[in-house]
């Protein structure tokens, strides 16, 4: 079975500062890793995913995450955040598309002016 | 591509009535559909996994007679909350597994039982 730990429930930062949202996972099999973003009262939007290949994956809005197998981590980073990045971020893991997706508890990112 | 349409987005019902939530895959065939529940300011908890044409697999602690899941076709899965009570008020989200290994999510249904 897979599990996900998001170490920080809340991360407040100032606009244009860098941010890292931490995610660690446990699994006995190869995994697929995901980061989703959720804005208030909305569904989930895929931010980025690691399925195979390059361990560094990037999103179109400046976020990136690196799959580190030895540390079982998939931390999310952005070098300079905007007010509009304020949202809840969920890390998730699965063993494949027909397998269930297991979510972390989420990290609320608040970007202050 | 790979869009899941979920309806309704919001529903208010009286205690004791039943509510049906639909998820349709618009441009692909969803062999496997997942149903999640999200309480305010909490994470998504998997309720059940449904495969087209077979009975859903429920997670531990989820009442299968209360949360009826039907996945009769490759493009439609439904969740019916039977005899709803205020404690069933929540945000329900469906998701479909993709052959590429990823997932696509519906936009969610906010259920309020009064």
Contacts 24+ apart (CB under 8 A), B22-28: B22/B76, B22/B77, B22/B78, B23/B76, B23/B77, B23/B78, B23/B79, B23/B94, B23/B96, B23/B106, B24/B75, B24/B76, B25/B74, B25/B75, B25/B76, B25/B96, B26/B75, B27/B1, B27/B2, B27/B3, B28/B1, B28/B2, B28/B96, B28/B98
| Nearest C-alpha in B relative to A42 | B107
Distance from CA of B1 to the nearest CA of A (A): 13
| Whole-number pLDDT of residue A97 | 61
Among B49, B93, B102, select the one facing A49 at the smallest CB separation: B102
| Nearest C-alpha in B relative to A31 | B101
| Whole-number pLDDT of residue B9 | 95
> Would an 8 Å CB–CB cutoff place B100 in contact with chain A?
yes
pLDDT in tens, A48-100: 999 888 899 999 889 999 999 999 999 999 999 999 999 999 999 998 767 88
pLDDT in tens, A21-56: 999 999 878 889 999 999 887 888 899 999 888 899
> Would an 8 Å CB–CB cutoff place B103 in contact with chain A?
yes
Decide if B32 and A34 are in contact by the 8 Å CB cutoff.
no
Residues of chain B with pLDDT under 70: none
Distance from CA of A93 to the nearest CA of B (A): 10
| Whole-number pLDDT of residue A43 | 83
Among B46, B99, B110, select the one facing A97 at the smallest CB separation: B99
Q: Identify from B33, B38, B103 which residue to disrupt to test chain A contact, counting A C-beta atoms within 10 A and taking the largest count.
A: B103
């Amino acid at each position: 079975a897979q599990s996900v730990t998001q170490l920080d429930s809340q991360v407040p930062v100032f606009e244009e500062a860098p941010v890292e949202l931490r995610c660690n996972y446990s699994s006995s099999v190869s995994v697929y890793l995901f980061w989703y973003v959720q804005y208030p009262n909305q569904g989930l939007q895929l931010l980025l995913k690691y399925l195979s290949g390059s361990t560094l994956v990037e999103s179109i809005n400046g976020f990136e995450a690196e799959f580190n197998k030895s540390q079982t981590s998939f931390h999310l980073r952005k070098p300079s955040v905007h007010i509009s990045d304020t949202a809840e971020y969920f890390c998730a893991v699965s063993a494949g598309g027909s397998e269930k997706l297991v979510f972390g508890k989420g990290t609320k990112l608040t970007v202050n002016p | 591509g790979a869009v899941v349409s979920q309806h309704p987005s919001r529903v208010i019902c009286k205690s004791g009535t039943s509510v049906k939530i639909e998820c349709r895959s618009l441009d692909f065939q969803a062999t496997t559909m997942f149903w999640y529940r999200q309480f305010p300011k909490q994470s998504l908890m998997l309720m059940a996994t449904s495969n087209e044409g077979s009975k859903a697999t429920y997670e531990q602690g989820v009442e299968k007679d209360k949360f009826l899941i039907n996945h009769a076709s490759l493009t439609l899965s439904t969740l019916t909350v039977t005899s709803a009570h205020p404690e069933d008020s929540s945000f329900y989200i469906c998701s479909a597994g993709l052959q590429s290994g990823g997932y696509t999510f519906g936009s969610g249904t906010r259920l309020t039982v009064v």
